[in-house]
Structure formats: C-alpha cells, structure tokens
Amino acid sequence: MLGDRMQGSDANKSGAEASGTGRFFRLWTVFFYTVLGAIVLAYAISWWLARTSPPGPFYEFELSPDARPGQLLRVETHRHGVPDGAVGWRILYATTGTVGEVRLASALVVASAGEYPAPRPVVAWAHGTTGIARGCAPSMMSGPFDLAPAFPQVLDPGWVWVAADYTGLGTSGPHPYLVGPPQAHAVLDAVRAAGEIDRLELADRTVVWGHSQGGHAALWAGIVAPAYAPDIELAGIAAVAPPTDLPRLLSVVHRRFMGRMLSAYLVEAYAAVYREVDVEARLRSFTRPLARDIAGRCLDRAGMLASALPTLLAGPTLFREPPPNGAFAARLAENIPDKPIEAPVLIAQGSRDTTVTPGVQGGFVSNRCLAGQVVDYRGFADQGHLSIVEDDSPVPDLLLRWTRARFAGEPAPVRCLISGR
C-alpha cells in the first residue's frame, strides 16, 4: 500500500512536472511569436513610412541637348521652411553630368525680403548625404533646411542662400554620389541659374559651404570653378567633415553600422555612373539585394529605421574582399579632391566623428599642405559627424565669421593653419 502510494505520488509529481514544462514551452512559444510579430510589424510600418515620394510634375522637363549650363528652366515660389521676412524659390536648371552631357538639376533659393544693397553676395550650400534615390532631394523634404548650419542667420547680412539638390535627386537619372565634378557643376550652375530669377540681383562673389557629401562637392567646386565657371568669383570654400581620401575612408568604416549603410549608397551609385564598376563582383551574393534595398531609401529617420534590419543582416561588411579594389578603387581615387584650389579653403572636422574619421581627414590635410595647398584646418573636440553643424556647435558661428571676412576682402591665410587637431 505504501509502495503504491509512493508510486502514485511519483507519477503525480512527474505529471505535474511534465505539465509545468509543457506550460512553460507554450508560454515561451507565445512570447517568442509575439515578439517576432511585433518586430515584423514594426519593420513593416517603418518600411511603409520610409517609401520615397515620387517627384511631382515640377521636376519633369523636356531638356534640350543645347541647354546652357546654369540656364534657368523653371521657377516657382517656395514657402515651406522659409523663415518670416524671407522669400524662397524652387528652381530647375541645366547642368553638366559626368561625361559632359547636359543634365537637369533642382535647387532652392532663399533671400531676405528686406532692403539690401544690390548685387547681393551668395552662399552656395552643398548638402550632406540624403540618399541616392530620386525622392531624396532636400527640396522635396518636409525640413529642407534642417541640417543647414547657420540658417536662417545666414540671410541677415543680405546674403542669398542657393542650395542645390545635385542631379538625380528630384530630377531623373542616376545620382553621382561622391563623384566630384558633376556634383560641383550642379552647385556652381545653381548659382548661375539663381542669378536669372527676376528681381534678384546677385554679385559675382560666392562662398561655397558644404557638409559631409556636400563638403566633398564644395572642395570639387573649388577645383573645377576656374575652368568651368570663371564667371563666378569664388571668395572661399568651407567644407565641414568632407569625405576626402575616399579609398582609405571606405577601408576604415565599411565594417561599421553607418559605414555599411553608406557603402550601399556608394557602390550602387558608382555602378550606375561608371560602367566598369561591377556590383556583383564587389559584394557578397547575399548582400547584393540588401545593398539595393538600402540604396532605395533616403537617409532620414524613417529610412534609417527601415534600413537597420538589412544593414544588420548584411553582417560585418557588404563586400567580398576588403574594399576598395579593382575598378571601384580606381574610381574612388579619381574622386579624391586633391587638385589645386585657388580660393581660400576652410576644413572643419569633429574629433568624435566615426563616419568621416579625424585620422583620415588629418592625413588628407597634411598631404595637401605638403603639396602647397593652403588649408585653414579646424578640429573640434566632442563634435561628431552631425553635431558639428547643429546650432550649439561652434561651427555655424565660425562659418558666418569666416564668410564675412571673405566677402569683406580680408586677407586669407597664406600658409596652412592647423588648430584643435
């Protein structure tokens, strides 16, 4: 009897344990699929929100092959994001592409509505990375001036703000991401086109500001301007965190999260612009569709959230071999902004920048100084890639002071100045 009761007790205990174990696994399964479902739902929502908007009819234009670079083709009043006391325009204009072809580009132009002596000096703004898809043009975005330093203070002295979208953003065709000459052409031709707006008289004197991708474009504008746009008097080039030594920079950042995302933009854009750059040969087979997916979205909050999953799924790098190499490396080297610039050059760099690293930047500046290029190089402690252009950074005020000196004709440095490195 006692043995029977013990056996029964053991059986009940085993049954209870089995029942408890089964309940645990059922609860764990429910929890797992609930979390998985939430992740899938969150990704689906972010993917939906991150879809690029199709450009409106403003960006469609039958461009004549005889169009003159800088020719104003279309203009309309633009109010979104324009501060009180200022007037804005959105423009469409002709520019020159990678191989000398005529391309279509768009830009925003903003000026104070107050009375200022004419003609007015120009600050040409070259924006940072927004993406390479057609719907990623700043002129199409809800906050077109959000990452523009010292805006709208830049309008107070009577200066005119000209902000190019570049080609392929808003307008049709591939966007030449970090391809120097066509980006520079778009920046310079935007200034020319703005000069054709009725009742807006621009001075020849122009200072180009650029951040990140735009810093690269600004340096290239300084390189090509004497031959390409001698009608524009470049009073200075101010580049903030510009990607300069592209091959070395890619080799450093391609394993980082943001580096993988930007690698997708870079390799997809170069493959679209340069026929010999083979995406299939550069990327691992399973990262190819992931790179295409990432490159199809803009680099705004929704786009970054939606691109986070494919970026993580790509693993430590998109590339088959440590980049860059082959034709891709040759084209990257070709787009290093290491040619002479006649205008005064200011480069600002954050010491905590993990996208454009201070080590790569410092090496580039040292090499340019050794080659005889005068560079005013300013390093800023505790500044990252984006924080360096935010309102509480010292850089916006530096840009205003430096530009005021250039427009006033004050002497620029005659030898390299390196501070805060």
pLDDT in tens, 50-99: 456 788 999 999 999 999 999 999 999 999 999 999 999 999 999 999 99
User: Do residues 166 and 217 touch, judged by C-beta distance below 8 A?
Assistant: yes
Asked whether the whole model's pTM tops 0.85, one would answer yes
Tell me the C-alpha to C-alpha distance, in Å, between residue 372 and each of 144, 291, 421.
Answer: 37, 39, 20
In this prediction, residues 108-127 reach a mean pLDDT of 95
pLDDT at position 166 is 98
Q: How many residues does the chain have?
A: 421
CA distances from 351 to 37, 162, 242, 247, 386 (A): 41, 29, 13, 20, 12
Q: Where does 113-178 show beta strands of DSSP type E? A: 120-126, 160-167
Distance between CA 58 and CA 41 in Å, rounded? 35
Among residues 217, 206, 199, the alpha carbon closest in space to that of 105 is found at 217
Work out the mean pLDDT of the chain and round it to a whole number.
90
d(CA 123, CA 113): 16
Q: Could you report the per-residue pLDDT of 388-411, keeping only the tens digit for each? A: 999 999 999 999 999 999 999 999
CA gap 420, 160 in Å, rounded: 31
Write the burial class of residue 298 (CB in 10 Å: 0-12 exposed, 13-18 middle, 19+ buried): buried
The dihedral through the CA atoms of 123, 126, 127, 133 has a sign that is positive
E strand or H helix at 236: strand 233-240
pLDDT per residue as tens digits for the range 315-327: 999 999 989 899 9
Backbone φ and ψ for 239, nearest 5 degrees, come out as: -115, 125
